[in-house]
Amino acid sequence: MHDNQPRTITPADLPKVITRYLTAHRAHDTASAVTTFTDDATVIDDGNTYQGSTAIEQWLNRSATEFTYTINLTNAQETDTAHYIATHHLEGNFPGGTIDLHYRFTLRDDLIEHLAIEP
């Protein structure tokens, strides 16, 4: 029986593709970040859905310039070998000023197939 409850792991134990995405995203390196997604990947952020490489690249470019903020990885969890959650604490000039966001990753073939970002 498998209960699919996420278990806490160290950030170093996140799959390399997730670490590559998070590092590129923090550095506003859109070109590198977009290569971590499958061609048909989906990103859900702020109530919007972005499907495919072009839409994800546009989302990455916009999110890199919309606000100025710091981002710190505060927790990492693994549900199974395809599902991970990376929790980040953000502080910046966006409405509210601080927020904790859960980045819920689904992997396929060592790439990100689905990413949902939510409080």
pLDDT at position 68: 87
pTM attached to this predicted model: 0.92
Residue 6 Cα distances to 10, 17, 83, 86, 96, angstroms: 13, 19, 9, 11, 28
Mean pLDDT value across residues 110-115: 98
DSSP 94: S
pLDDT per residue as tens digits for the range 56-98: 999 999 887 778 888 899 999 999 999 999 999 999 998 899 9
pLDDT per residue as tens digits for the range 1-46: 456 789 999 999 999 999 999 999 988 899 999 999 999 999 999 8
d(CA 110, CA 16): 8
Residue-range domains of the chain with CATH: 7-118 (3.10.450.50)
d(CA 33, CA 111): 11
**SS3 of residue 13 by DSSP:** helix
